[in-house]
Amino acid sequence: MTPHASSTKISRNAMAHLLMIAVVVLWGATFVLVKAALADIAPQWFNSIRMTIAFLCLALLYRSQWRQLTRQAWLAGAAAGACLAAGYFFQTQGLLYTSPTNSAFLTALVVILVPFLASLPGLRPPGAGLPQWTAWVGAALAFLGVVLLTAPAGASWKYVLDHLNRGDLLTLGCALGFALHVITLAHATQKVRFEQIALLQIGFAMLFLTTAALTMQPSALHIFADLSAPKHSGITFLLVFALAVTGIVATAAAFSIQTWAQQTIPATNIAVILTLEPVFAWLTSYVILHERLGLRHGFGAFLVLGGILATELLPRLQNRA
């Protein structure tokens, strides 16, 4: 390999990491924005419109890719879109019943799920083995952290199991959806152009989420009834702003970047970067909503992040020893 080629490779790798960090900062900051916007619109209609805006942007940006789409591209896009739709369905529905901070920390469990899913037959990348002991330690720490984060203080284990917040449980489903999305992209980006996957995954996610919205609210006109109801002041600036930011920047641009970055960054590394999301979600909640984490909740959040770090960093330290 020539020095010039090596320099180019390092530059591409560094750029992929920097762009992914920027994307995660944006995703963390939008938890509060989406939570506020849901006061003016049903969650699944928010998702549907968000994905429609993103798809229209990508359809225009990647218009040259339409004639080059292969059967493999359609299948990869459908699989990634289904996982993405599941993640957003459960996350947005869960935000109706839980706080932005809880939602962000529970979504971060994706980093625990990715190594497990990547080790399953059919999902396992070539050469990957079963989870190491560090993964089990990380999962245990993260589970305990989730309990401390979401359960009332002084509650027994039976009470905890009987009274888990509905929003927290929904958000756990979101973590699984996003973990499967990371795994799907890890396979797809090695075989299909990232532009085609970015375009098709958003298109299929739009179809799936619109179907969910129509199923939960059979009349598409219901959305306009919601927006014009007496309790609302019509289509608010906040709602329009939230849809524009999440549709154009946090979906069209962000998932194009993630799809491109996963050509260079392994799935487990992507999952590690995603752990920054709850940190920035908490910082945004602290600044805008003045939300505080009590000592018990703070310790629970610390254990979730500790489990994440144990899963990803301990194996590297062990290999260096």
pLDDT in tens, 119-176: 787 776 655 556 677 777 777 787 777 667 655 556 555 555 565 678 888 888 999 9
pLDDT band with cut points at 50, 70 and 90 for residue 8: very low
Report the distance separating Cα 202 and Cα 270, nearest Å.
19
Which of 52-56, 165-169, 187-191 has the lowest average pLDDT?
Answer: 165-169
Residue 146: what pLDDT? Answer: 67
Residue 253, pLDDT > 80, answer yes
Report the distance separating Cα 314 and Cα 154, nearest Å.
32
pTM score above 0.85: no
- Name the token pair of 77: 């896009």
- Name the token pair of 212: 């969910």
Cα within 13 Å of Cα(191), Cβ side? 14
Residue 129: what pLDDT? Answer: 59
Residue 49, pLDDT > 80, answer yes
Residue 7: what pLDDT? Answer: 45
Please report, rounded to a whole number, the percentage of residues in the chain having pLDDT higher than 70: 77
Residue 245, pLDDT > 80, answer yes
**177 in Cβ contact with 106 (< 8 Å):** no
238 Cβ contact partners less than 8 Å away, ≥ 6 residues apart: 36, 37, 40
Residue 2: what pLDDT? Answer: 46
pLDDT in tens, 265-308: 888 778 777 877 777 777 777 777 776 666 776 787 788 778 77
Please report, rounded to a whole number, the percentage of residues in the chain having pLDDT higher than 90: 32
Residue 230: what pLDDT? Answer: 44
Cα within 13 Å of Cα(116), Cβ side? 17
Residue 184, pLDDT > 80, answer yes
204 Cβ contact partners less than 8 Å away, ≥ 6 residues apart: 77, 78, 80, 81, 82, 85
Tell which wins on pLDDT, 107 or 296: 107
pLDDT band with cut points at 50, 70 and 90 for residue 257: very high
pLDDT band with cut points at 50, 70 and 90 for residue 261: very high
Report the distance separating Cα 111 and Cα 139, nearest Å.
10
Nearest by Cα to 246 from 20, 35, 16: 35
The amino acid that residue 93 corresponds to is: Q
Nearest by Cα to 265 from 158, 175, 180, 190: 190
CA 213 to each of CA 30, 92, 188, 302: distance values in angstroms, whole numbers, following the listed order: 21, 12, 28, 36
Tell which wins on pLDDT, 89 or 311: 89
Residue 192, pLDDT > 80, answer yes
Residue 103, pLDDT > 70, answer yes
Residue 106: what pLDDT? Answer: 79
